[in-house]
A and B are shown apart, each in its own frame.
Chain A
Amino acid sequence: MSTAPLSHAARKGYLRYLAPGALGFAVVVLVPFVMNIAISFTAWSGIGTPTFTGLDNYQRLIHDEMFWSAFAHSIWFIVAMAIVPTALALVLAAGLFDYLEPRFGPRVSSALRAGFYLPQVLPVAVAGIVWSWILTPYGALNGVLQKVGIADPPNWLGDTSWAMPSVMLVLVWMQLGYGLVIFMAGMARIDPQFHEAAELDGASWLTRFRHVTVPQMRPEIFVVLLTTTIAALKVFGPVFVLTKGGPGDATNVPSYYSYSNFFGNLQVGYGSAIATALTVVVIALTVVFIKIQSKAEGA
């Protein structure tokens, strides 16, 4: 490699630089991770000694409808955090980069990009209160709807059938900028000759989007889909701030479900089992994603 080869002794001397990091990692990640798995085999309220119960928590998990519905909700969150924003961001990025920038200059396109990106830098808690203020029954949105003649607009976050779509809308809003920024950075890497050649052949913007932009952006699309899908499986903040998993369990997700078992129901063993199951799903998904990607690259 690029560094000069080091002798065994010389390499050993570097080990001590790992000490603070390794110690921190052991205390903050490794030990808690193992503890969490161990706790998942017990019944424990958080106080006193845990009672070993073997696989009881996992057995309960399999028959727990709430758990399965929480995972089913994760699919909606993947739609709202990964699929829809990625697709929208790709179209927007191409619109800004391939269409607007050559016609109006880079200032216009980067100003627009900044506007779309702004929700991304907002702390999730702040995005949450902004939106819950807008979506509350007497909030801004219903104020507008009543003005245009809708007498009885829904309670967006409080109605079982509206809560999920409302939360999804907020998430699309939050996530859009992430993909946009990454795709626009990626598009700068595509050789403009591809587009120019296609244009000379009379290809429309849509044709170029399908046959030049999307195939060229495959690595970026992959990374964005992977990271946002994992974020969607782990989502906690928006749920906590907007709905607390409710109404009922209409927007409950695994991470919130384990949280409420830890700190609400004081069923720490069961909460740990949920968290462990979630970890397994996230890691399995990551591995599958990467396998698919390596196949696609190999082909």
Chain B
Amino acid sequence: MNAIELQEVTKRFGRTTALDGLSMQVATGEVHGFLGPNGSGKSTTIRVLLGLLRADSGTARLLGGDPWSDAPALHRRLAYVPGDVALWPNLTGGEVIDLLGRLRGGTDPARRAALLERFDLDPTKKGTTYSKGNRQKVGLVAALASDVELLLLDEPTSGLDPLMEAQFRAVISEERGRGRTVLLSSHILSEVEHLCDRVSIIRSGQVVESGTLAELRHLTRTLVVAELAAPVPEGLATAPGVHDAELDGHRITCQVDDTELGQVMSRLSALGIRSITSTPPTLEELFLRHYDESGR
């Protein structure tokens, strides 16, 4: 069963179409990356899943229920961290963690203590005194300390320093080990790359690409730099799957479609390879390319 199932979901705000027939699935137990630029509809999607917004059309299923009509019951089984955690000025971080935990049916005190330790958060300070990063930590500890099946995280690491981001990654990996489902929206691509089993890319309110990172990489190119024993023949630059080739005597620098990589490699090795480097695309490149090309 899928933890999240969205079919052709549309949401308009006046004349603005925030979600334009968005469909996506998140399988139970997977960490699913949700990537897209600002304003592409990530937060709107999550608010529909939380039952904070009602979709104009389409169907949304969350943990087997309806996110709008079954909201209170479903919310005992999930936790949410927004990109900007707003705290009550006169409540301490610890009080907020307990309050949010109570609303979900309780927190595990041992996990709460362990998470406070790991995120290096002082829970005795008042809401007003926390920095942006510390407010995010309050939200993260509150969400992670509850025993829930699904975590909806909307750019949860905004404002965290690199050390804490690493800590966050470690914690999420452990959560996956416990079988929790995670929907992680982000534009920090390295985060998604390290953590996620599958990724959906959203653009202008539609999911434009969805799959495992390996599947998405098939759509991409690998940068190959090779030094050959013989001068590079001109024909190689126009071979199928070879792009942006630069020939310089014995040296070739080019982008190769991942599907044609084997062919290109055999041709290169037939010529005698002295040295070769190939760089797999980062998600950044995948992402940029996607938006560069489908944006036109």
> Are A and B genuine complex partners?
no
